[in-house]
Amino acid sequence: MSKKSTSTKAKEEADRQSRKEVLLARKQAQQTRQLRIALGIVGILILAVIVIAVVNEFVVAPNRSVAVVNDNEISLQDFQDRVVYERARRVVLLEDQLAAFGGDVGIIQQFANQVLVDLYPANAETFGETVLNQMVDEDLIAQAAGDRGITVSDADVEAEIGKSFNYYGGELPTPLPTATETVMPTPSLTPIPTAVITEVVPTATSFPTPTAGPTNTPLPTSTPVSADSFQQQLDELLQQYRDLGVSEGAYRASVRAQLYRQRLADALAEEENLSREAEHVNFYVLVFDNQEEADNVAGTLTSDNYLEVWNTIRSQQADPNAASTAFASELFRRTEDDLATSFSPEFATAVFDQEIDTPTPVIAVTGQDGTISYFIAIPSGKEMLPLTDAAYQTKKDELVSALITSLRGGNVIVQDFWRDRVPTKPALDDKFYATPTPVPEQPIVPEVATPASTVTAP
């Protein structure tokens, strides 16, 4: 009986243990299944996030608007394509200049520093902002041109591209009108002589009249650029752009934008009846390095004695040890814009507002290097004269800039999400940022004295 009871208990214990294991196995299986489901859900979520990010970056974002100009949208893709083009244009320019200067990087760094700054990777956002503002301006210009019935055809673009290569359909460009020589006024006074020569100077011995040599051969007549030559040069340029990831369409779109700006400038000049003439001024000017000396001279300067004072300063010999820093000059036929650019807007206004033969107060002008100079100007004459082509073009450009400023108010919306999406390619070769190799100094060869020849007495 006892043996049977023990056996039964053992069997029951085994059954209980077996049921435990089954329940535990079921529980573990259920937990494993739940874990796999959770991991699957997490994986699906991660995959969904990745897919959404990819779709947003490569499908949605490129079509988002970085700016809205009235009803016209500038997409991120268009903005990025334009940045790539502007970078490529600068790279091609620098590479061509480097080849023209025989590989001298120092010259490029000296004269094209701003272009190098534009292409520096750390300045990508600043450069991108410049490009975006340019695109906004071009949209405003195109819309303003459209309002005035101005159009630019594909043929116009082709002709403008040809002009940039000096190609005019196989003919020479229309010659510019012959310039009429303008008589420049002579300086008002002769410098005061600083010394009188009293010794007798021997009369110079007359030399025989030189025999006239052959006359210069006339320069050959310009040869028109042929269609084949133009096409070859254009193909080379476009290939440079293609190598940098820029399409021909981007290049032509840039030329079209330039034409719209030029034609709008012409239309605005006609609308505003922009004069081809402007007031020009002739004036004496005294320049000082310190205000105390300038104030002292200004305190004694009058309409009656300024010529004497000016001529005295003008006639002084250069002396680095002299106490005075005064310098005198006379400038002719300057427009107000000329003076604003060369000196300062305040200086230009003071000169043009001043009466003839009346000295201005002392005017402080800060130079580009931060140094301050002190000026006294005395207008000697004013007259209306024709503007140069460059000055007239500047006036037209100012009309366009003023129009753009007025159109920007309330009509332009610019987003900020583009700032971390500005392309940095194509990149400029590091050689342009390298320190230029200094030119080795040429050793100075000492002069060797020629021994005197021995003269034998007769």
- Is the pLDDT higher at 442 or at 383? 383
- Closest by CA to 336, choosing from 350, 320, 324, 355, is 350
- Whether 281 and 334 have beta carbons less than 8 Å apart is answered as yes
Confidence band for 17, pLDDT divided at 50, 70 and 90 = low
- Is the pLDDT higher at 224 or at 109? 109
- pLDDT (average), residues 279-298: 96
- Closest by CA to 407, choosing from 43, 59, 143, is 143
Max intra-chain CA distance, the chain:
170
Kindly provide the b/e burial profile for residues 322-348, where b requires at least 16 CB atoms within 10 angstroms of the residue's own CB.
eeeebebebbeebbbbbbbeebbeebb
Q: Supply the pLDDT for residue 199.
A: 47
Q: Supply the pLDDT for residue 456.
A: 44
- pLDDT (average), residues 132-157: 97
pTM: 0.72
Give tens-digit pLDDT for 171-223. 766 655 555 555 556 555 555 544 444 444 454 444 455 455 455 555 555 67
Looking at the DSSP bridge assignments, the partners of residue 282 are 381
- pLDDT (average), residues 45-73: 75
Distance, in Å, from the CA atom of 387 to the CA atom of 270, rounded to the nearest integer, reads 16
Q: Look at the chain and count its residues.
A: 458
Most confident of 15-19, 22-26, 343-347, 451-455: 343-347
Domain spanning 279-386: which CATH class is it, in words? alpha beta
Q: Phi/psi of residue 207, each to 5°?
A: -100, 155
Q: How far, CA to CA in Å, does 354 sit from each of 112, 338, 361? A: 39, 17, 10
Lowest-pLDDT range of 1-15, 45-59, 356-370: 1-15
Distance, in Å, from the CA atom of 413 to the CA atom of 434, rounded to the nearest integer, reads 40
Distance, in Å, from the CA atom of 76 to the CA atom of 420, rounded to the nearest integer, reads 11
Q: Residue 288, SS3?
A: strand
* Single-letter amino acid, residue 143: Q
Structure tokens at 8: 């039964």
In the DSSP assignment, the letter for residue 194 is: -
Give tens-digit pLDDT for 310-358. 999 999 887 777 778 899 999 999 999 999 999 999 999 999 999 999 9
- Whether 378 and 358 have beta carbons less than 8 Å apart is answered as yes
Q: Supply the pLDDT for residue 200.
A: 45
Q: Supply the pLDDT for residue 222.
A: 64
- Closest by CA to 287, choosing from 372, 164, 394, 170, is 372
Q: Supply the pLDDT for residue 368.
A: 85
- Is the pLDDT higher at 62 or at 35? 35
- State CA 394 to chain mean position distance: 16
Flag whether pLDDT at 2 surpasses 60: no
- Closest by CA to 337, choosing from 284, 382, 281, is 281
- Closest by CA to 95, choosing from 116, 110, 118, is 116
How large a percentage of the chain has pLDDT more than 90? 63
Distance, in Å, from the CA atom of 433 to the CA atom of 428, rounded to the nearest integer, reads 9
Q: Supply the pLDDT for residue 403.
A: 96
Flag whether pLDDT at 243 surpasses 70: yes
Give tens-digit pLDDT for 213-233. 455 555 555 678 899 999 999
Confidence band for 69, pLDDT divided at 50, 70 and 90 = very high
**Mean pLDDT, the chain, integer:** 84
Alpha-carbon dihedral angle through residues 138, 139, 142, 146, given to the nearest 10 degrees: -160
Distance, in Å, from the CA atom of 216 to the CA atom of 198, rounded to the nearest integer, reads 44
In the DSSP assignment, the letter for residue 171 is: B
Q: What angle do CA 301, 305, 307 make, to 5 degrees?
A: 105
Domain boundaries, the chain: 72-171+226-273+397-433, 279-386
Cα end-to-end span (Å), the chain: 170
